[in-house]
A and B are shown apart, each in its own frame.
Chain A
Amino acid sequence: MLSKTRQIVLTALVLAALTIGAGSGCKKAQSDPFPASGAVAGWQKTDGPRTFAAKDLWQYIDGDAEHFIQAGVVSTSTADYTYQRQLEAAVDIHTMSSPDGARKILETGLTRDAKTIQLGDECVQYAQSISFRKGNTIVRIVAYESTPDTPQALLALAHGVESKL
């Protein structure tokens, strides 16, 4: 027979374990959506991520911040990459408050030469950039140069990010 003190301690431990389990079990663990160096063939992460809350977004994108705030941006994270140590690119991940806001950002300024790609919920690609939406998240990857390899390399990196969202 357990002593009364032992019973109390055991009950407390069980309750604590249940509380911790309940707290973490319903949520997906927050993960870093930026692929590590080498996780996508040829791509190295060179800087970041840096994260900006909506109120600080101007520090990163100046006047563009207003456009994102109006669409309901919650935060933006950015990291720099290089492909085969030659092609440089920036990956921006915007977390919006709703899929509608994300859709609005994706659709802004689309031009006729945008190519539709199967990735996430919707995706468009140009010669030097690729943007896609997944739920309330918008990802935009921009390369600073145009080479024959750029579109395929960007698409591979975009898949790498999408798989981590």
Chain B
Amino acid sequence: MSTRREFLKEAATGAVLIGSQTPLALAGMLDAHAETGKSRVVIARDPALHAAGSQLDSARVGALLDRAIASYTGIQQPVEAWKHIVAQGRAEGKVVGLKTNGLGGKGISTHAVLVFAIAERLQQAGVKPGNILVWDRNARDLEACGLTINTDPSRIRCFGSDVSGFEDSVETFGASHARFSKILTRECAMVINLPILKDHSGAGVTFAMKNMYGVVERPQDLHANGCNPGVADLNAFPVVRDKIRLTIGDAMSSVYDGGPGFHPERLWYPNALIVGEDRVAVDHTAWSLLERQRAEVGMPTLEATGRPPRYIATAADATHRLGTNDPQRIHLLEI
């Protein structure tokens, strides 16, 4: 974690970047290692995100998203920041996918209000509504997020792999085999990953990389051994590695134990978004956050319960090279 001194130094660096927004200066801004040689991860928080009755305040969620993206990209104007994100993803004029996670049901799924805020910014950045595709495994998962199915290409589209189907060919990475959703392989030029932070009874933690289990036909085949190396292998498939360009992780509410299902008795409100391109660094950061909460309520660590998320280290190894899990190489900004 950053010390206060490091935090102030990072904030100062951000200010310099905001003052130098030439196209050349912006090029590579989203390259995780461009600025400091470290992977940038932003945790943006708003303690007042939840209004009475645990309902999210949509205006505050939009503002939090803007702050997170401004901090991550160094571009203060949201529309310019989003134009840059789309350009970096080589998705101008093409389909941008938003991959949600609704498996936990209504209580613990990616919040629709975050999806709407991102879709609004994408449209302001010039992405046509029909080129925004919100997707997950199936209609039930999307509806659990509070979304409505729509396949009309004149509006923002929202449907699952139950509509698109899966590729016939089986791809292999290491010992893992997968058939990918046609939404990922055929529809989307780039995908923004919108997982929700949860404890996971097998994998330990489910967030950025584990959310990719929702893009294959038989995720259950990748669950052995605490999803290790299943999660790392899955993210190393070229179609996943290349198209998943950014994670905007929903840590507005979370379950710190008993996941991945909804356990209201273990619900907690980090009131945060976690943003990064380096999916390993994002997951490592999210894991730290979850462990901190478990410690606060007097629970043992995931290691002590026999389910540390080992797949995170595997994803960083020489075989997978998906990012870094070394805190010294993670440029963490907490705002």
Interface residues of A (CB under 8 A from B): 58, 61-67, 88, 90, 109, 111, 113-114, 126-129, 142-146
B251 in the interface, Cβ–Cβ < 8 Å? no
Asked if residues A64 and B201 are in contact (CB atoms below 8 Å), the reply is yes
Asked if residues A129 and B258 are in contact (CB atoms below 8 Å), the reply is no
Q: Give, as a whole number of angstroms, the nearest-CB distance from B221 to chain A.
A: 9
B130 in the interface, Cβ–Cβ < 8 Å? no
Interface residues of B (CB under 8 A from A): 53-54, 103, 105-107, 200-203, 206, 213, 219-220, 223, 227, 257-266
Contact residues of B: prevailing secondary structure: loop
Number of A-B contacts (CB under 8 A): 64
Which A residue's beta carbon lies closest to that of B55?
A145
Which A residue's beta carbon lies closest to that of B220?
A58
Q: With A58-B220, A65-B220, A66-B223 given, is the CB distance from A142 to B107 under 8 Å?
A: yes
- CB-defined contacts of B105 to chain A, threshold 8 Å: 90, 144
Q: Once the chains are docked, how many angstroms separate the CA of A66 from the CA of B200?
A: 11
Asked if residues B264 and A126 are in contact (CB atoms below 8 Å), the reply is yes
Asked if residues A144 and B260 are in contact (CB atoms below 8 Å), the reply is no
**A88 touches which one: B106, B219, B263 (CB < 8 A)?**
B106
**A144 touches which one: B107, B200, B261 (CB < 8 A)?**
B107
Query: 6 A-B contacts, Cβ less than 8 Å apart?
Result: A62-B103, A64-B261, A88-B106, A129-B264, A144-B107, A145-B54
Which A residue's beta carbon lies closest to that of B105?
A90
Asked if residues B264 and A128 are in contact (CB atoms below 8 Å), the reply is yes
Q: With A63-B201, A66-B201, A66-B223 given, is the CB distance from A146 to B206 under 8 Å?
A: no
Instruction: Please give me the 9 A-B residue pairs with the lowest Cβ-Cβ distance, nearest first.
Output: A128-B264, A63-B202, A58-B220, A126-B265, A144-B107, A109-B258, A144-B106, A67-B201, A62-B103
Asked if residues A62 and B106 are in contact (CB atoms below 8 Å), the reply is no
Which B residue's beta carbon lies closest to that of A129?
B264
Which B residue's beta carbon lies closest to that of A110?
B265
